[in-house]
Structure 1
Amino acid sequence: MAFVILVFFSLIFLQTFSTVNAQTGGNITTGASLTAAENSPSWLSPSGEFAFGFQPLENDRELFLLSIWYDKIPEKTIVWWAHGDSPTAPTPTAPRGSKLGLTANSGMVLTNPQGDELWRSPIIGTVAYAFMNDSGNFVLFNSNSMTVWESFGNPTDTILPTQTLERGWLLSSRRSETNFSIGRFRLQLKTDGNLVLTTINLPTDYANEPYYETKTNGDTNTSSSGQQVVFNQSGYLYLQLVNDQRLPLTRRVETSASNFYYRATMNFDGVFIQYQHPKNSSGNEGWTAFWSLPDNICSASFVSASSGTCGYNSICRLNGEKRPFCECPRGYSLIDPNDRYGSCKPNFTQTCEEDGLGRSPEDLYDYEELTDTDWPTSDYELLTPFTEEGCRRSCLHDCMCAVVIFRAGDMCWKKKLPLSNGRVDSNINGKALIKIRKGKVPPNPFDRFPDLENEKKRKSRENLILVGSVLLGGSVLFNFILVGAVCLCFFCVYHKKNKPIPGNDSVAETNLRCFSFKELQEATNGFKEELGKGAFGVVYKGTINHIGSTILIAVKKLNTLIHDVEKEFKAEVQVIGQTHHKNLIICCRRSVDMERDESEALLTDWAYDCYCEGVLDTLVEFDKEALNDMKKVTRFVMVAIWCIQEDPSLRPTMRKVTQMLEGVVEVLVPPCPCPFNAIN
């Protein structure tokens, strides 16, 4: 019995010793496995400088990335990760509890907690063991110690010292700093030997014309074509030619390789950068960029069939580190608020149809002026010789024109949407005139989301203030019209008996309160006080009693009972009557509240200011449901602002209101609801 116990504990000790060796000595035998979890064990290189295992994603700590990283520096910089073979193939992120196993017949196999396969290493032959090298290369070997798979042969966005890129191989950028899906930029040594930087038309694999190339494709002499990209042990990166000559890609490194880590990365913004990092850092020293390609990506990357470094309708400018910074011009906002390098969309609609109110282009549009800015691939007409005033006037009266570039004193370049390859460059020597809608153009309302923890520290206000608040907080005249338009749907007497309207089944189905002609006649005192006239009838002021309170109403009396008119009117009532959104029908505060701060005393002014400043989250405060759908909140508020315009001709019909609320009709950027007050 004692012998059995001794053998049992001996086996446990040997297994533990073997496991520790596998984690710290670089050698991993088949049957070994890793589990996705916080601070889970990883397979280390002999020196411990590199680790192979699972890293949690920054934006979701429940998802993990199978990767290789520098393990002795605080940043834990990732240099390789398991990835698909095409832009459409998603990066296999692993949920917590997923498992990576090393098998003889399949190599590395990654499965989720349910046992479904997420990724595997493509191998030829069988695997005997794996090894994590101090170079950062993770290799699978067969029983003859021949390589059957290696991470250096399947690179992602980074190349390390001692690594090479053969013809046809490439580095693909990430989608963003924290999104490891395949991005828009690529470094590739093409099969003809030309080393290029290109943009990719995602989600396809189509590469645009290069924005940088070494021109080593051997057109004139095949011996001068590129053979392989070499990153040597000293941190020197060059292109090895067929004739054994070297084409330097970086300047020679002056620091010692024994004291620094090196890497070269195809960044998500299109810049290929070589970095260095001290191995023994006593301070806050991190990765330092000492070489980049191209020198100015904003100017280098414009090609005719691409949006450029930034998205469409965006502008690229360099920051102090020669990295691109993308921004939308005034009057435009990001399509995806989470993608700062993505495309922008105009906050207004420009059409070639008549305005309908008799306003001229000069009344509708103005210009935002930017110096040394251009979108060089979006021209559709050149006017020369031309004055600046003539250039401005020509674009104003051209419904296709979005921007004009006036340069060289007499050249007028007209451009149409989408604007591509936008950039700022002192060599442009001209000005861009961006046509925008007149009035206060608000910034992108999705650029800012509230910090809920900080919001809780603010004083408690009433619950939700949204469209209903703004709608019911307008002028007194508008309140009459609005209540009448919904045909007493929201404020009505439920306890009175009603006389049904013959043939009005569709309205009855909405479970709305119906009124007889006599009741409406009494409510309006014989249709005495006229509020206004519409296309099909006159609107009168009236009152009804509701739970002991007198409520002002507006009643629309049709001129003639034409079938189509009646049908249209009933349809409007039915649509509005079926709307039960709490934010639309409940007003949580008065239109004027002198107990609030001065900036919030007038509900309509406060709501419009919040909209223009992009802080609509202050209207909904702690309502998580609303905060999770700020696009809908913004649409509702925009509709409300249109409805409370002081100029009656600008207010939409109730049919259009319902269409805008439902998202059927696009909501244009509303002007200030009280332009005269704003001027004062």
Structure 2
Amino acid sequence: MACALPHHPLFHFLLLFLLPFSIVARTNGTVAVGTSITANNKDTPWLSPSGAFAFGFKPLEEKNLFLLSIWYYKIPDQTIVWYGHDGVPVSIGSKLGLTVDRGLVLSDPQGKELWNSQLILNNNVAHGFMNDTGNFVLVRSDSVNLWESFKNPTDTMLPTQIMEYGGVIFSRLSETNFSQGRFQLRLLQDGNLVLNTRDIPSNFAYDAYYNSSTSDYSNSSNSGYRVIFDDKGVMYILRRNSEIVLIKPQGTSFPATEYFHRATLDFDGVFTQYYHPKTFNSSTKWTPIWSQPDNICVDIGGGEGSGACGFNSICKLNDNQRPDCKCPPGYSLLDPNNTYGSCKPNFTQSCLEDDINSAEDIYDFETLINTDWPTSDYEHFSPATEAQCKRSCINDCFCAVAILGDSSCWKKKLPLSNGRDDNVVNRHAFLKFRKRDPRTLPSPLPSPLEGRLDTLVENDMEALNDWKRLERFLMVAIWCIQEDPSLRPTMRKVTQMLEGVVEVDVPPCPSQVSFTS
């Protein structure tokens, strides 16, 4: 028979005292040197004292993949606020250890090192600590912080976090891909806080689409030098003269106490502050307080980069004032899994002589209202009517779209950038498309030479892109197999026809007997 537990208070004190040290350590936020945690669905992450935040391996939607990260632990929406290893997921069985000389060390299941906290030599770690602010720190024996997640941010800032000048946070590549994306928030050396797009491989920064205007070249004491997210959830730029410049738009108010706050540069390029009640139910979600910029679709400009969406794409704000990206008619996503990526035309636009001479028979336009790609111009004329604008584009083999507005016509060529669909545009876009294209023709095998050449070359894109030459080569071949030998050309003439020196007449069709035999 099972024994009943005694109710004496001393017994409960002794029971608490005898709990394993590892469990106690996980509830007071301290992580001892030599402690490790494994990527699986069993190990408890390192928790902050109140359990508000966790540090460890967050399971991802993909089976057996984990992200080394810090996340909100108590609320149902366990939002990630920091991640290591450049946002690259690790497989089940990977391990994170806390070492005395190297700090945090991440290794794969075979023991190969993947990432570490890059401590300065001879700064021995005494312990780690997961704060209730969401900041994980490595602490020396004299209580000096050797490393902290707040000074190595990813896409999010939390209350009590400070960004010094030169600081930067990056968006994710997509909602589920934690690699660094195309957008960044930077506090420049001149004191301006800016949002800009960038070229990912080179990290080259394009023109800013938000600027705090907190620099003063005539008097540097008036320039900003810190971005502070205070413990009440207020974010501001601190000038060197101690003046405060709020980042939130004028008139914005929000609850400060009993709420979690975070400011995230989302994957779509919008920098947003959110709040979430600390007392919650399963339906409670993060609520946006303010965001910058107001309309990213029209606020992104400049002559470089693709804009809020990918090249040849169109940006439009949805009901939540967030950007949605879509491909224009006749275009499709370059990467079907990335709706915010670039679009490619589903047809071939050619400058071959026959296409130029027959442009009005081959091409037509799709009209898009309040749509423009304002940074892709290469020609402009005024005054212009709709008919003149269309005619100029359709007879120009470089023209991909013509824009008409204020009696002016702008012609643009691929790739198109900074596409936007918005009432403030107030222009018509005439998007050029090919009426018929060999790559879009149906595929059933034709009856005999119906004029269907695409079935002969199938997926040979080089041949499809040089359609007229393919047609000439095929006609030469038909001349060479004429049933009447007297009709077959000499090798000299064959060479001249292949090179285009001699015009190739349309050959007579071989008899049906030739095909069946």
How high is the TM-score relative to the length of structure 2? 0.83
Cα pair 2:347 2:439 within 8 Å, conserved: no
Report which of the two has the higher share of helix.
1
Q: Could you tell me which residue of structure 2 aligns to residue 104 of structure 1?
A: 100
> Do 1:131 and 1:138's aligned partners in 2 also have CA atoms closer than 8 Å?
yes
Work out whether residues 227 and 235 of structure 2, in 8 Å CA contact, stay in contact via their aligned partners in 1: yes
Deviation at 1:434, TM superposition (A): 0.6
1:330 is aligned to 329
Mapping of residues 105-120 of structure 1, within 5 Å: 105-120=101-116
**For residues 417-445 of structure 1, what are the alpha-carbon distances to aligned partners after superposition, in whole Å with 9 as ceiling and x for unaligned?**
111111122122220101111149999xx
Provide, for residues 451-477 of structure 1, a one-character-per-residue CA deviation record: whole Å limited to 9, x for no partner: xxxxxxxxxxxxxxxx9xx544x44x4
Aligned to 1:504: none
Deviation at 1:181, TM superposition (A): 0.5
Q: How far did 1:558 drift?
A: 8.8
1:280 corresponds in structure 2 to: 279
**2:232 equivalent in structure 1:** 234
Structure 1: which amino acid aligns with 2:220? T
Find 1:534's aligned residue among 478, 481, 493.
478
2:418 pairs, out of 405, 416, 421, with 421
1:56 aligns with 2:59: yes
The one-character-per-residue Cα deviations of 1:286-325 (angstroms, maximum 9, x if unpaired) are 1111200000001111111111111111111101111111
User: Alpha carbons of 1:533 and 1:225: their partners in 2 closer, same or farther (altered >3 Å)?
Assistant: closer
Contact 1:533 1:539 (C-alpha < 8 Å) held by counterparts: no
> In structure 2, what is the equivalent of residue 389 of structure 1?
387
Superimposed CA distance per residue, residues 649-678 of structure 1 (whole angstroms, 9 cap, x where no aligned partner): 9xxxxxxxxxxxxxxxxxxxxxxxxxxxxx
Give the corresponding residue for 1:217.
215
1:40 to 40, 43, 46: 43
SS at match of 1:233: coil
Cα deviation for residue 153 of structure 1 reads: 0.6
Deviates more, 1:270-279 or 1:91-100: 91-100
**Cα 1:80–1:15 shift into 2, 3 Å:** farther
Is residue 2:73 matched to residue 1:71?
yes
1:137 maps to which residue?
135
Aligned position for 2:320 = 321
Question: Displacement, 1:359?
Answer: 6.1
Task: Tell me how large the CA RMSD over aligned residues is.
Answer: 3.0
List alignment gaps of at least 5 residues for structure 1.
1-12, 85-90, 444-466, 487-531, 541-555, 567-647, 650-680
Q: Identical aligned pairs, as a percentage?
A: 50
What residue number does 1:366 align with?
Answer: 364
DSSP-derived class of the 1:309 partner:
coil
**How do 1:495-574 residues align onto structure 2 when only pairs under 5 Å count?**
534-538=478-482, 559=488, 562=491
The residue type paired with residue 103 of structure 1 is: T
Larger proportion of strand? 2
Alignment partners' CA distance in 2, 1:561 and 1:158: 75
Equivalent residue runs for 1:239-250 within 5 Å:
239-250=237-248
Instruction: Report the equivalent of 1:271.
Output: 270
How much has 1:107 moved relative to structure 2? 0.4
TM-score (norm 1): 0.63
2: CA distance between counterparts of 1:99 and 1:564?
73
Say whether the 8 Å CA contact 2:183–2:197 is kept in structure 1: yes
Return closer, same or farther for 1:382/1:564 CA change in 2, 3 Å cut-off: closer
Distance 1:184 1:126, change over 3 A: same
In the TM superposition, what is the alpha-carbon distance from 1:61 to its structure 2 partner?
2.1
Letter in 1 for 2:340: Y
Tell me whether 1:28 sits opposite 2:9 in the alignment.
no
Deviates more, 1:34-43 or 1:131-140: 34-43
Counterpart residue number, 1:607? none
Q: Which amino acid aligns with 2:64?
A: E
**2:91 touches 2:108 (CA, 8 Å); kept in 1?**
yes
The range that moved more, 216-225 or 433-442, is 433-442
Kept in 2, the 8 Å contact 1:537–1:558? The answer is no
**How far apart, in 2, do the equivalents of 1:480 and 1:440 lie?**
13
Aligned residues of 1:330 and 1:441 also touching (Cα < 8 A): no
Other structure's SS at 2:208 match: coil
In structure 2, the CA distance between the partners of 1:331 and 1:222, relative to structure 1 (3 Å rule), is same
Question: How far apart are the structure 2 equivalents of 1:539 and 1:79?
Answer: 76
- Quick one: distance in 1 between partners of 2:40 and 2:252? 38
Q: Deviations over 1:527-556 (max 9, x none)?
A: xxxxx992322379xxxxxxxxxxxxxxx9
Quick check: 2:311–2:415 contact (8 Å CA) kept in 1?
Answer: yes
